[in-house]
Amino acid sequence: MAVVGAGFSGIGAAIRLRREGFRDLLVLEKASQLGGTWRDNTYPGCACDVPSSLYSYSFTPSPGWSRTFAGQREIHDYLRATADRYGVGAVLRCGVAVLRARWDRSAGRWLLETTDGEYTATALVLATGPWHEPRRPDVPGLEEFPGPVFHTAEWDHSVDLAGRRVAVIGSGASAVQVVPAVQARAAAVHLFQRTAQWVLPKPDLPVPAALNWCLSHAPGVQRAMRAGQYSLQECFGYAFRHPRLIGPVQAAARAHLRLAVRDKELRRTLTPHYRLGCKRLLTSSTFYPALTLPHVRLHPTAVSAVRGRHLIGADGTETEADVVITATGFRIGELPLARSTHGSDGRTLHETWAKDGPEAYLGTSVSGFPNLFLLLGPNLLGGSTSAISVLEAQLAYVSAALSHLRRRGLTSMDVRPAVQDEHNAAVQEALRSTVYNSGGCSSYYIGPTGRNTFCWPWSTGRLVRRLNRFDPAAYTYRAPSAPAPRAPADHSRPTDEEGITP
Ligand SMILES: Cc1cc2nc3c(=O)[nH]c(=O)nc-3n(C[C@H](O)[C@H](O)[C@H](O)COP(=O)(O)OP(=O)(O)OC[C@H]3O[C@@H](n4cnc5c(N)ncnc54)[C@H](O)[C@@H]3O)c2cc1C
């Protein structure tokens, strides 16, 4: 089987599946080394915003995070060390980009076209990450800007920001980390903010050596800390699902702003006009103070054009800069391989999702795409969850599904369309009352079709329980000897292609 991508998801998949006895496995990674998000995002200030004790694999707690919210390098080192510890190197092929994947109905296999030739795989795990492809702002003239222009995920370390006027476009999760970090070197920082964000303080503290010693010698304490963090994150999640409870959190964010920013006008432009949680909730204790510095200026406007060295705001203002940093996030909702992964009827995932946007059964299986498993797929995450908690639950599901195939001697499994539809109807119904859908903002949770294709509408606990219970009846199966059906599958009604019962 093949796993595409070697970030947290791909490495986790290799570890879990090998442990379950799936030894014929390869991880294909297009970059020259593993790490995903934590390899690519090397911008100053880059760190996780879920506490490290939770933002790590439960089966390999780090013996010693230096801070409560570890920085990029430390997380990347942790991933590399974990991969080494579990021997992932033996199945990892770096520098191999998957270009196209096609389900071969007659062979009951995935055919992969890669930069390293063709591969076949009995099952395909797409671990290509939701936060992978940088979203570039569509600003006329930006390409002709006469100085360096780069995205936070593609930081150009050859550019010295000392004494330069730096423009930052975007005010989301990366911007709140990068602005406080670059202001220390730059002569001036201009932050272009289209929409104000809710920001809570971030309790980012050094972890004392004594505590690390205690954690590494008393795994119970480590587990208790993780459980505590998990519960705290879940409290936020509960409020996001019951927006009437958001008031106190919003009041805390307002107080944070009031304490950090004395200037009334600046405070006004930093105050969001939608409910907290509608967009991803940000945390930082250094962002607001950075904005009060004399050489840092907040421009409450989008950038509508660039002329020479001048950034033209949608409000008509002109600002001169030497370097432009685009902190505009990622093309979330567009799975990197969606346009080139072809299912049993030849259609791509992108074509299958054209009408309503990405959807899957439990964010993992897509009807018409046998033996395909998406990691961190549609409608699994939320504004407060650690992606790793979700991922680990998915890995339990994928390994249970593949073990079922192996035990029954079957070739392939395909989720029943009706099961997928019913699941997604319930998800969409439950999302309606959440702050993600009703909070009065536009966010990456909502796709171009107007559907929320990102969030899980219930608790993470419910997701974990659901994914821990593989239900064979949700799928149809094919046995090795069965001939390939000629007609394309009719996805409008449940089928049991070869009459095989679960
Ligand atoms: C700056 C930043 C901070 C974040 N902080 C948090 C946090 O605090 N908490 C949290 O829960 N989440 C956070 N996230 C989200 C984070 O992306 C996920 O938590 C997690 O790292 C995703 O891991 P992944 O393996 O699924 O994807 P990725 O880490 O994106 O890895 C995907 C891999 O797939 C490879 N790939 C893609 N296409 C192909 C192809 N065609 N062929 C071969 N290889 C391919 C890529 O090169 C990459 O290595 C953050 C994201 C960013 C950008």
- Domain range summary for the chain, segments of one domain joined by +: 2-133+331-478, 142-215+247-326
| pLDDT tens profile 109-152 | 999 999 999 999 999 999 999 999 999 999 999 999 999 999 99
pLDDT mean over 411-435: 98
Assess contact for 79 and 38: CB atoms under 8 A: yes
Distance between CA atoms of 374 and 102, rounded to whole angstroms? 15
Pocket of ligand 1 (CB under 6 A): 4-10, 28-31, 36-37, 41, 46, 48-50, 55, 97-98, 127-129, 131-132, 174, 336-337, 375-376, 386-387
Average pLDDT of span 150-164? 98
Instruction: Please name the CATH architecture into which domain 2-133+331-478 falls.
Output: 3-Layer(bba) Sandwich (3.50)
Residue with tokens 């998949």: 13
CATH architecture of 142-215+247-326: 3-Layer(bba) Sandwich (3.50)
* Residue 480 pLDDT: 87
Token duo for residue 331: 């093309």
pTM for this one? 0.94
Res 488 pLDDT > 50: no
What distance in angstroms lies between residue 368's CA and the mean position of ligand 1's atoms? 26
Instruction: Calculate the average pLDDT of the chain.
Output: 94
Coil, helix or strand at residue 35: coil
Residue 147 has a CB neighbour count (10 Å cut-off) of 14
Q: Which atom of ligand 1 is nearest to the CA of 385?
A: 11
Q: Please provide the distance, in angstroms rounded to a whole number, between the alpha carbons at the two ends of the chain.
A: 22
What would the DSSP string read from start to end of 252-294? HHHHHHHHH---HHHHHHTS-SS-TTSSPPEE-SSHHHHHTST
The total of other beta-carbon atoms located within 10 Å of residue 308's CB is 10
What is the tens place of the pLDDT at every residue in 314-352? 999 999 999 999 999 999 988 999 999 999 999 999 999
